Structure 1
Amino acid sequence: GMQLARDEAQADWTVVMDDDGRPAPGAIEAFRAMDLSEWDAIGAAVHHPDGRICEMNRPYRNPFWNPGAFLRTLARMPLGRGRAGFHLGDGDYRTGSPVVRVDMSSFVGLFLSHAALQRAGLPDPRLFIYGDDQLYTLQMRRAGLRIGFAPQVRFDHDTTALQAQGGVVLRPMWKVFYMYRNALMAYRVAAGPWFWPLVPVLLRKWRRKAGDYGPDAALFRTILDQAVRDGLAGRLDRSHDDILRLSRSDAP
């Protein structure tokens, strides 16, 4: 779709969204009313249909590129709230808040200028699901493109993903593989030379999430271990059929 928009359409801007995401009433009008002269891409404020902020679509500033966000993240890590140090806060979502620069925005309500599509290229389809938006927008920022978060441009994400104590709980289980393999690849881009010291911290945190999967905790760890091996190796050629087979068995 993005390739067709880039190569065939004559539109100045293109918006992408998930199949379970949609612009809220007035969102497109709010975007069209913006002064876009300083931006190459605009990320929407994504909410659940009941009004809650959708955590999986909360934009962030890369802490490895922003000293202030890095220090806030370190300060919150002992409390288990490191994520809050570099993701946008609830206050940034209030109507009337200014558009702020971000380094990552999700594909639920991401507006891309034609020039940005030309420069940034296309997402890697081998990622299939999860993390492709992180990698794409981080690479946009590395190329010098400007991404803004606009709280007045609201999207609804009717996702069934559940939030538990350790974060999002994914069903069906095959989604676990893509989430964590692709997250490692995004962290490699985000962290740069800090990536390898960061890996043990990530693995410890992720393995703790097994408790949120109840009777599937062992299966979660099995899938996670394979995802980590592939992610560290940069392997993107494992077939979806292989992942489906892995997700039906808790054997090592």
Structure 2
Amino acid sequence: MQIARDDTRADWVAVMDDDGRPAPGAFARFRGMDLRGWDAVGAAVRHPDGTICEMNRPYRNPFWNPGAFLRTLARMPLGRGRQGFHLSDADYVPGAPMRAVDMTSFVGLFLSRDALMRAGLPDPRLFIYGDDQLHTLRMRRMGLRIGFAPDLHFDHDTQALQGSTGLVLRPIWKVYYMYRNALIAYRVAAGPWFWPLVPVLLRKWRRKAGDYGPDAALFRTILDQAVRDGLAGRLDRPHDRVLALAGHG
């Protein structure tokens, strides 16, 4: 992204993971779109088998959108709070109109040159997880408009382990980055609601230990360090110390 910004004059830049790829015709379809009024456009990301990739599902920030906030509250007792603010399957139907979103992933994100110049670059200290959330939320706080285009299709060739409480991260050192960065992103998203939200998040996250089986205690140890660093906004813990924390040192 830095090379694209500083060493080219490209009008738009496409961002994707190393295990993400545009479906045939995606770039041609993007070039034919009416992009007036949009500063960035996120693609519909699916697994190679055609199912929606949950980790790349865009959302409207419920703390900025009263409707999404109320839908989230209504679904939380049923354990489906995420459905209140993430886009629905219906939003992915080809031909559906482009929708404004507050967060989308770096798998299939098209950034205008103006957005790249104004919003700057992601923070490399995040290393893994959450960099796209923070970057796109920051764009929205600056007033930049991000659209979700269901007709732009990207594949994400990734296999995510699922437990009873959701995603199970392997290798287990990834737990540190997921939850440290999530706290930092929640601080941006929730604003004055952040501190009342923290106990709810910690209670929810600690329940995930059961999905790690014999590594449940190790999960809690890594999570506790991630929470301490996330609340302090600390991004300077060396990766080798994270590995040591996870028993790989």
Fold equivalence (TM over 0.5): yes
Consecutive unaligned residues of structure 1, counting only runs of 5 or more, are none
CA deviation vs aligned residue, 1:42-83 (integer Å, no higher than 9, x gap)? 001000111110100000000000000000000000000000
Counterpart of 1:70 in structure 2 is 69
2:166 alignment partner AA: G
1:80-102 Cα shifts (integer Å, max 9, x gaps): 00000000000000101110000
Which residue is 2:101 aligned to? 102
Aligned-pair distance for 1:218?
A: 1.1
**Secondary structure at 1:135 match in 2:** helix
Name the counterpart of 1:220: 219
Asked whether 1:128 is paired with 2:127, we answer: yes
Structure 2 residue 150 is matched with structure 1 residue 146: no
Letter paired with 2:107? V
Query: Given the alignment of the two structures, is residue 80 of structure 1 paired with residue 50 of structure 2, yes or no?
Result: no
- The secondary structure found in structure 1 opposite 2:104 is coil
Question: Secondary structure, in 3 states, of the residue corresponding to 2:49?
Answer: coil
SS in 2 for 1:133: helix
> After superposition, where does 1:224-235 map in structure 2 within 5 Å?
224-235=223-234
Task: State the Cα deviation string for residues 157-197 of structure 1 (Å, max 9, x = none).
Answer: 01122222211111101111000000000000000000000
Residue 60 of structure 2 aligns with which residue? 61
Code of the aligned partner of 2:35:
L
Amino acid at match of 1:66: N
SS in 2 for 1:145: coil
> The residue matched to 2:42 in structure 1 has which SS?
strand
Instruction: Find out whether 1:45 has 2:44 as its counterpart.
Output: yes
Work out the percentage of aligned pairs sharing the same amino acid.
80
1:150 aligned counterpart, secondary structure: strand
Q: Which residue of 2 aligns with 1:114?
A: 113
- For 1:30-41, what aligned pairs fall within 5 Å after superposition? 30-41=29-40
For 1:46 and 1:132, the matched residues in 2 are separated by 17
Q: Distance in 2 between matches of 1:151 and 1:197?
A: 35
User: Are 2:176 and 1:184 equivalent residues in the alignment?
Assistant: no
What is the distance in 1 between the residues matched to 2:220 and 2:153? Answer: 36
Alpha-carbon distance in structure 2 between the residues aligned to 1:183 and 1:141: 18
Q: Deviation above 6 Å: which 4+ runs of structure 1?
A: none
